[in-house]
Amino acid sequence: MESGEREEAFEKQDVGDLQRVYDYLRGHAEIREILLSGGDPLTLSNAKLCELFQGLRAARPGILIRVGTRVPITDPLRLDSETIAILNKFRPLRLSVHINHPRELSGGGDALDACVSAGIPVHVQTVLLRGINDTAELLAGLFRDCLDLGLTPYYLFQLDLAPGTAHFRVPLTQGLAIYRQLAARISGLGLPAYALDLPGGGGKIRLHENVICGERVTDAGRIYVLKDVSGREWGYPAE
Ligand SMILES: *Cc1c(COP(=O)(O)O)cnc(C)c1O
């Protein structure tokens, strides 16, 4: 085999693994979405990407393909017009791009703009990082820049407990305080969900402060007491 061909075709074992994925998807119509991530799928050649998407589409014509990637940020030139045409061809398909800081958009903005212009929805996932993006001002700037580019802020993740990353962790209560300030600064369109992957396999939960902070009986009847983003209390009928 020529070295060029070796780069273009999947290895025999990969073909076997992928075949098992396609077979599984064919047998499980209840699966509506497939998430391709980590290793970054967009580090594949265009030929391999095409082969992968063709296999998925053949198995399940309607399945939503989700591509988790950082390539538009780390290697924006990789997203050439051919790649974007491939992504477009295999819709329904959505990109989730990991972006932590507004400065990352200075290199990747054009590539992301090209995706959005081609009609490919792009969602943004951000990890809350101490000393990097742990202020409401910075995050509001990042998410406004995303909105300007047509990207949807989707998740603000509390840091996973990955070994060696503790120095990046923002304590949960501080994270919630930042999130509350962020919510007061930005429209709903620009506000991602603050979420945490529970250690030990508990799955993902959305983090929020308890907005219902009490219950009172008034002349007008029983009410719940709700707290707004600035801490002020409001009433809403309980029934
Ligand atoms: C949970 C998770 C997703 C998928 O999230 P949905 O809630 O299914 O949209 C994608 N990427 C990462 C890193 C996640 O933790």
- Mean pLDDT of the region 2-25: 82
Per-residue confidence (pLDDT) for residue 3, from 0 to 100: 45
Instruction: Work out the pLDDT band at 108, boundaries 50, 70, 90.
Output: confident
Q: Is residue 229 part of a domain?
A: no
Q: Is residue 15 part of a domain?
A: yes
Q: Is residue 98 part of a domain?
A: yes
Distance CA 96, CA 230 (A): 31
Residue nearest to atom 3 of ligand 1 (CA): 35
- Mean pLDDT of the region 38-58: 96
Q: Is residue 196 part of a domain?
A: yes
Per the CB < 8 A criterion, the answer to whether 43 and 71 are in contact is yes
Q: Is the CB of 152 under 6 A from ligand 1?
A: no
Q: Is the CB of 68 under 6 A from ligand 1?
A: yes
List the domain range (segments joined by +) for residue 52.
3-210
Q: Is residue 78 part of a domain?
A: yes
Tokens at 52, concatenated: 């992968």
pLDDT tens across 171-208, in order? 999 999 999 999 999 999 999 999 999 998 999 999 98
pLDDT over 90, % of the chain = 88
Q: Is residue 28 part of a domain?
A: yes
CATH number at residue 35: 3.20.20.70
Q: Which atom of ligand 1 is nearest to the CA of 197?
A: 15
Q: Is the CB of 153 under 6 A from ligand 1?
A: no
Q: Is residue 231 part of a domain?
A: no
| 189 secondary structure, DSSP code | G
pLDDT over 70, % of the chain = 97
CA dist list (Å): 106 to 74, 110, 118: 11, 8, 20
Count of domains observed in the chain: 1
Q: Is residue 125 part of a domain?
A: yes
pLDDT above 90 (res 128):
yes
If phi > 0 it is left, if psi is from -120 to 50 it is alpha, else beta; for residue 188 that is alpha
Which amino acid makes up residue 13? Answer: Q
pTM: 0.90
Per the CB < 8 A criterion, the answer to whether 99 and 74 are in contact is no
